Structure 1
Amino acid sequence: MNKVEEDKKSAELRALNKKLYQEEQEKQIALKQKEAEDSFYQKLVDGFDVNVLVVGDSIAENGQGEKGRCTLLQNNLRKTYNNRVSFTNVSMGGNASYAGYVRTMTLNDDVGYDLAIICYGQNDGADGFSTNYESIIRAIRSKYPDCSIISILESSQREYTEKMTTIQSICELYSIPIADTIDAFNNLGKAYEDLSNDGVHPNDAGQEIYFETVKEVIDDNVAASTGKMAEADVINADVHKFDNFVWYDASSDFVRVDDTTFTISTNASGILGIDYTYESGDNKADIYVDGELFESPTVTFDYDSSQRHILVVSDDCTVKNEIKVVFTSKEQADGFKGMCFSWE
């Protein structure tokens, strides 16, 4: 082969390599575009990695064990679709739905969630439940606009209480599919005691039912190739009071003055929340706003263990200069995580 032929061959090879490179680039761009357009259910079928967020109370928190529904669901999805499926569970036992809003808003792990599973009701009162529950949905939609949502009706309710029908109404408006474990438990032909050891939390057999119920919802939406959630108007006008959020971390934003006292200089107004740990026995936190005693949340925790709680201190608090929090013991102060404001 002479030099002219060699040069021609080299040019043809370079052109071929360039074409192959361009085709590969176009393929990758198309894949990224497809991934961006897909919903959670479509990503499963198309082979993309998915991230699942679980927000709830102890019924949701207890789904993390080896035989828990989160583990069962994660393993099933991996096996069925051969995808990488990651679960993050920010559920907190003993807490009501306001905690779910705060946990969602404070989540800062640089993960784009494709599916959120909400599981609340057991610890909530009827008053304010609709607004708090909807605030979780709005928080998820705000932080993760492309995230699908599944809501669980908790089996512990045994029947369709006011709280459960509230969830159904909210989900109907937002077109959120429901995993109805009340119906699943009631129609299994077994006594409730066979599915729960304490009357509230599902045992291993109950976890299997939770898993199957959520899986059925996912299977149905995969079969329907359900797309991303559409925008929806709010049900409760008060939910706009949760549109904006600021978090003050106990370790980085507050100043620990002594063993029991924290202070922070700030200017804020709205719904004030606190995140701290109940220790066994009496718990008290004196909260001062601009030098005046504002609230003193007091709780008797009748357990030998401790438990983290997030609760509303006030629906209407205005701070001009400073918040001071004084706990009754160092042990209680050590469990202080922070405070937050939300507003319209």
Structure 2
Amino acid sequence: MAKRIKEEYGADSTFKVIATPGGTAFGGWIDYLTDSSAQEYELVFLCFGASDEKELKFNQTIFGNILEGLIRNIKKTKANTEIITIIENSIKSEAYINTLKKVSDYYDITYVDTIKAFINSRQGIDVLTEDGVNPSEKGYSIYIDAVFDLIKSNIDNKREPGFDERKPLLFEESNRFYTAKITTEFLTIGGFYNSVVACDKIFMKSNRSNDYITYEVKDSQVLGVTLLGGPDCGIVDIYLNDKLIQTYDCYAPYEALRHVLISDNIGVGTHKIRIEVSSIKNAKASDSNVYIHGLITN
């Protein structure tokens, strides 16, 4: 992309990847808000949806809340930042596609529809993807062409992106995603130990069933946890006030951060969170390791 911009406009550009590859809108939200080197960006690409379908169990309302909260945070930093949303080729749910378009239109954000770009290329999915989902080299070239064409169109049309903070919310509960922090202080610990540094973060580790870490959360509506995914990773059971509310499989074919949304509305007051190594694991995983960095709250 930088090369295309240089060739067309003679301008130098630098790009920074903030969100985790294969991540979710929730992960992008916490990565952006906790990025210690955040800047006033001229252009931001938001490419979410495919992983959110699985993580959020096709709840497009929560997806919309997170997406709107992230957009308003970006615009709050610099009102005339150009944002481009990307509709991923692997999104299956029309509801998610419609939510992306709805939020984009509401905030006068242009978007790239790579599903349409793939169809218009008249090439098979086996050519455009490596596995039916992830783009191949040819697929990525179509992504780049589609994104560059939109950038050029925006420039030719002399777009002047802006933002008025008084603009009403599209999703009334998106204000839950205005602030964020990751808490690493735990309440009690059973079996986990401080041993691993990965993705510039320190993780507590255990692979023994029923080992646990507990946390206490006060007056936060949003609750999540930052884990490490990878080929040696097991499964965690997550308890809220001693009730099992979620089981999450940390297995992944590659090492990557996993910001997992537990609840977008846990209620007022003080809550106890217990994260425990499950007694089962993914058959593909080489071990049952669970790596915990901390809790996500707002």
Q: TM-score range by the shorter chain?
A: 0.7 to 0.9
Change (3 A) 1:322 1:175: closer
Going by fraction, where is helix more abundant, 1 or 2?
1
Number of equivalenced pairs: 262
Query: Quick check: 1:140–1:147 contact (8 Å CA) kept in 2?
Result: yes
Aligned to 1:55: none
Distance change (3 Å), C-alpha of 1:161 and 1:322: closer
Equivalent in 226, 233, 249 of residue 168 of structure 2? 233
1:18-97 pair list within 5 angstroms: 73-97=1-25
Aligned match of 2:296: 340
Q: How many angstroms does 1:203 deviate by? A: 0.8
Indicate the percent of aligned positions where both proteins have the same amino acid.
20
Picking from 110, 120, 125, the partner of 1:177 is 110
- Match of 1:156? 90
Q: Which one-letter code corresponds to 2:146 in the other structure?
A: T
Q: Is the 8 A contact 1:282 1:298 kept in 2?
A: no
Is there any run of 5+ residues in structure 1 with no aligned partner, and where?
Answer: 1-72
CA contact (8 A) 1:268 1:341 kept: no
Looking at structure 1, the residues matched to 163 and 104 of structure 2 have their Cα atoms a distance apart, in angstroms, of 12
- Alpha carbons 2:65, 2:177 under 8 Å: kept: no
Take 2:249 and 2:216, find their aligned partners in 1: how far apart are those partners?
30
Q: CA deviation at 1:177?
A: 0.5
Structure 2 distance, partners of 1:303, 1:313, is 19
Deviates more, 1:146-155 or 1:316-325: 316-325
How far, CA to CA, are the matches of 1:324 and 1:74 in structure 2?
Answer: 44
Q: Of 105, 125, 135, which aligns to 2:69?
A: 135
1:309 corresponds in structure 2 to 258
Q: Give the CA deviation at 1:134.
A: 2.0
Matched to 1:235, the amino acid is L
The residue correspondences of 1:145-224 to structure 2 (distance < 5 A) are 145-157=79-91, 161-224=94-157
The answer to whether the aligner puts 1:245 opposite 2:180 as a matched pair is yes
Q: Supply the distance in 2 between the matched residues of 1:268 and 1:106 (Cα, whole angstroms).
A: 19
Name 1:25's counterpart in structure 2: none
How large is the Cα RMSD of the aligned pairs?
3.0
TM-score, scaled to structure 2:
0.75
Q: Give the CA deviation at 1:119.
A: 0.7
Task: Report if the CA contact (8 A) 1:286-1:293 is conserved.
Answer: no
Deviation of 1:271 (Å): 1.0
**Matched AA of 1:132:** I
Report how far residue 338 of structure 1 moved.
2.1
1:268 to 211, 219, 223: 219
| SS of alignment partner, residue 75 of structure 2 | helix
Counterpart residue identity of residue 73, structure 2: A
